[in-house]
Amino acid sequence: MRFTQLLIPTSKEAPSDAVLASHIYLMRAGYIQSVGSGLYNFLPLGKRVLDNVRRVAKEELDRAGCQEVDLSFVTPVSLWKESGRFEKYGKELLRFKDRKNNDFVLGPTHEEMMVNMVSQTVRSYKQLPINLYQIKTKFRDEIRPRFGLMRGREFLMKDGYSFASSEDGMKADFDLMEKTYSRIFKRLGLNYRIVEADSGAIGGSASKEFMVIADSGEDTIVICDNCEYAANIEAAKRAMVACDADEPEISISSKFQTIDIKSIDDLSAFFHVDPYYLIKTVAKKALYDGGESKIVLFALRGSDELEETKACNSIDANELVDINEEELRIAGLVAGYMGPSNLSEEIIVVYDEGLRDGRSLICGANEENYHFVGYDLRGVEVTYKDLVAVQSGDGCPKCNGKLKHTKGIEVGHIFQLGTKYSSALKAEFLDENGKSKPFMMGTYGIGISRLLAAIIEQNHDDRGCIWTKESSPFAVHIIISNIKKEEELEAGEELYSDLRSRGIEVLLDDRKERFGFKIKDFELIGVPLAVVVGKNLTDGKMEIITRDGLDKVEIKSSDVLDEILRRLS
RNA sequence: CGGAGUGUAGCGCAGUCUGGUAGCGCACCUGGUUUGGGACCAGGGGGUCGAAGGUUCGAGUCCUUUCACUCCGACCA
């Protein structure tokens, strides 16, 4: 393509709200344009990259035997009510009515639609397994869209769904998708890691996320420095923690006056006891379907932190929200002096596994200025769940390595769903014995538009984008230094048509601009390879620039074509 | 949802306190000079000052309402 014919509005200035490199450069280099909160237009360059990422995904999925379909974007609300997700998904669902006053949502994901489609067309186990996918715009009304393409409201996603007749079949599908996804992200040139994950609003049993490692990532992931263990903090486990500090010597269990001693630190200092022996009690309001809510106390060791997603899952709630002072008071709770015992019946208490059979503990007495000393959990019937946020330095649950935190961008997520949706939506097939059974499903997503951001987060410098080979909008960027010089123009044009005739995607900068202007645009746009046709043409040479590292070499003009072909192969 | 802030040319901003002809930089158009690191000179186009209502002789500026966008937070107990 010729620069003079392409819409590439590059600019020196970035929008003031852009903080991430990917956001800044994709805007500045004219890939995308903002149209509203979390909404973007893809300009020609952006569309080319999007198509490339989509193509890589499609090729690998088709290779793995998946079939592409395209389901209606507007989906009837009835399906969402049937699956129970209408409430669970909450405000992220964009709802609206048509002229006949029927309710619809814009699809944020398509489990319901796909199950519905398959249940109408697949009747027999002989038709299984089957794996269907689509690459389609999705809409989620995010609480707070930000970071450009990273967290938009409208975005392009590949969503796939597998249907099997047995659990083994489902697991085989899942494993195949894990391999396929690995191939896709590898081809896109990404440094990624597969981590164990929470299933979130999708539901289901096992799930894994594909995380692109980047400091700007929104997710915290926990990785082992010794083995392959890696998990999202929302699902990360750790080896049991022992405490080096001595257990406090407590002769009798009793209330103890602790005026103005409210925090774990204060308590620890006041009693000269390691926080390990203190109970931290976190109060939350849990929201359920139908507007129901319950007060829940999560008890964990003072040395640990609560992981909210785990906490939410532990009580099967839709969401956890903070409790305001009024609600605390009504529940008979005192901030700073909360404890898991002596509570009204309506309050649910969940203990962290780390407290199992704990003794000689200190906790709030649920009374202003008093703590309870010598709390003993041995032989007491309580609910234990894994609630803690794994911290850097904790032991790996798989080996004796140490865990550490790092940041990642979630670009893929694969789930084993089992029969969650097929049961709810009564999607069944007849097995070998003529018996009706719900499909064993898996669901698999890739954030196609988010990948553009992820690729740039991982591949950029202070001058602009550096695309990877398969994602780049063009393979080669030819810069004609001064189009007024006939020989430069001719040589540039000739190289351009030679490359094009070999099927190579070339961007030719034929604008009537100065050299500096053009080279800055090349650096901003980030095509991996550039050829400068300029002043050293008089010595019969051209310059090849590698965008990553900006290495330059002069090559005899007659050898340039071969050199480029060699590098691209 | 809670808190803070911003809406003025395509983009980035000043002007608002103290009411009196709508400004700057970049970008854009014309002509000329320049041509290897975002050039220079001259000329030019472009605005319901987010919207609605009010106060006033007069409102970008003051008052009321509203909409949109952005940022921070959603922790501890």
A221 shares a domain with A82 = yes
- Please give chain A's pLDDT, 569 residues, in tens: 999 999 999 998 887 778 889 999 999 999 998 888 888 889 999 999 999 999 999 999 999 999 999 999 889 998 888 888 887 777 788 888 888 988 888 889 898 899 999 999 999 999 999 999 999 999 988 888 888 898 888 999 999 999 999 999 999 999 999 999 999 999 999 999 999 987 765 666 788 999 999 988 888 899 998 998 999 988 888 988 778 777 777 777 788 888 888 888 888 888 888 889 888 888 888 888 777 788 888 988 988 888 888 888 888 887 788 777 777 878 888 888 888 887 777 888 999 988 888 888 888 888 888 888 888 888 888 889 888 889 888 999 999 899 999 989 999 999 999 998 899 899 999 999 999 999 999 999 999 999 999 999 999 999 999 999 999 999 999 999 999 999 999 999 999 999 999 999 999 999 999 999 999 999 999 999 999 999 999 999 999 999 999 999 999 999 999 999 999 99
A217 shares a domain with A70 = yes
**A389 with A405: CB under 8 angstroms?**
no
CATH number at residue A418: 3.30.930.10
Nearest nucleotide from residue A542 CA, by C1' atom: B36
Instruction: Give the integer Cα–Cα distance in Å for A412 and A562.
Output: 38
Of the CA atoms within 13 Å of residue A381, those in its CB half-sphere come to 0
A38 shares a domain with A90 = yes
Give chain A's domain count.
3
The separation, in Å, between residue A513 CA and nucleotide B43 C1' comes to 21
CATH number at residue A331: 3.90.960.10
Indicate whether A392 belongs to any domain: no
The separation, in Å, between residue A11 CA and nucleotide B40 C1' comes to 21
Indicate whether A394 belongs to any domain: no
- Listed as ranges, the nucleotides of chain B within 7 A of a protein C-beta are 1, 11-13, 25-26, 34-39, 68-77
A358 shares a domain with A298 = yes
The separation, in Å, between residue A27 CA and nucleotide B22 C1' comes to 29
A411 shares a domain with A378 = no
Indicate whether A549 belongs to any domain: yes
Residue partners of A546: CB distance under 8 A and separation at least 6: A528, A529, A552
Q: Tell me which of A457, A487, A519 is where a domain ends.
A: A457
Nearest nucleotide from residue A337 CA, by C1' atom: B77
- The C-alpha torsion from A463 through A468 and A472 to A474, rounded to 10°, is 90
A74 shares a domain with A206 = yes
A162 shares a domain with A87 = yes
A233 shares a domain with A273 = no
Indicate whether A399 belongs to any domain: no
CATH number at residue A499: 3.40.50.800
Question: Angle of helix A21-28 relative to helix A448-458, nearest 10 degrees?
Answer: 100
Q: Tell me which of A328, A352, A385 is where a domain ends.
A: A385
A118 shares a domain with A18 = yes
User: ipTM more than 0.85?
Assistant: yes
* Minimum-distance residue to B34 (CA–C1'): A514
Indicate whether A397 belongs to any domain: no
Q: Tell me which of A326, A354, A385 is where a domain ends.
A: A385
- What range defines the domain where residue A344 resides? 254-385
The separation, in Å, between residue A445 CA and nucleotide B15 C1' comes to 50
A449 shares a domain with A329 = no
Tokens 């906490």 found at: A311
A170 shares a domain with A26 = yes
The separation, in Å, between residue A397 CA and nucleotide B42 C1' comes to 74
A120 shares a domain with A157 = yes
What string of H, E and C letters represents the secondary structure of A309-378?
HHHHHHCCCCEEECCCHHHHHHCCCCCCCCCCCCCCCCCEEEEEHHHCCCCCEEEEEEECCEEEEEECCC
